[in-house]
Amino acid sequence: MTATSADIELANLRRAGEIYDRVVSLSRRFFTKDAVKDMEEFVRQAELLLQGVNSADVVLGIFDHNRYTPVVEVGDREFWGPMPELPPSQRMHTILSLLEADYAAFPGDSVKWFSRAMAAIPVEERQNLVFYHCGIAYQRTDGRPIRIFSKGVPIQYNEDRSFTFTFNYVHNVHHLLKPGFRDYWIRVAYGAARDKVQTLHSSDPTDTAGRDVLSVREKEILSLVSAGHETKDIAERLDISVNTVGNHRSNMVQRLGARDTTALVQLAKMAGLI
């Protein structure tokens, strides 16, 4: 059977996820105190790991949250398109200039929300932190549209367990999102089992503090969908009506902005929802 373009894209996403885990381990091995030791070797090994994934759709890097600048990026030239050579201090300004107009407020709004979300997490629970963003729209320097999915993991903490550096994986999920979806969502998972969350959905800026992007029932249904179960079977297993299953599925597609059910499952897996 010949693989479709969608099959190839999903395979690329799975490979990218595997590479992400490997580069997290790599970055932790190279990271000492407030710097990456042997940056040249880190970049070389990260670039080797990135082979096999469409580099135009993935960028990996370490971000300094104190200076709000990238320490290192791999795949950025292919991802963002041709860009001028700039010092790190100007790098983020240039990238943010590529934001589509509808998302101009995102940088400021997300930083404010994130500060509130982190303040709500007790210090003792600031472990296993992982951050997800999805839906922000950019235009590459050559005009190609990008819709961002990003995942970040702290790799350096200070004394009060506020992180100073994160390892970030960014993927273009333009093909997974509905063309008309103009929202974005953020998810922070934490705690020993990463079962505690702080979330934000731009359609409801007050939606946060312990409420996940999808409900417990929705995640239960989506896990069964992911396992290959049909709607009727899911309804029988959960003792609910077929219409209820269908409504939950439609609500999940709408909330995550997924193009279809296949994309919904993939986005949910990428964001640690199932």
Burial, 130: exposed, middle or buried (Cβ in 10 Å; 0-12, 13-18, 19+)? middle
- Report helix angle 242-256 to 216-226, nearest 10: 100
d(CA 171, CA 263): 14
pLDDT at 18: 74
d(CA 157, CA 165): 7
CB 114 within 8 A of CB 120: no
* 188-200 tens-digit pLDDT: 999 888 889 999 9
pLDDT at 65: 78
CB 221 within 8 A of CB 234: yes
Angle at 222 between CA 219 and CA 227, to 5 degrees: 130
Task: Kindly give the parts of the chain with pLDDT less than 70.
Answer: 1-17, 20, 27-28, 31-36, 39, 50-56, 156-162, 205-210
pLDDT at 161: 60
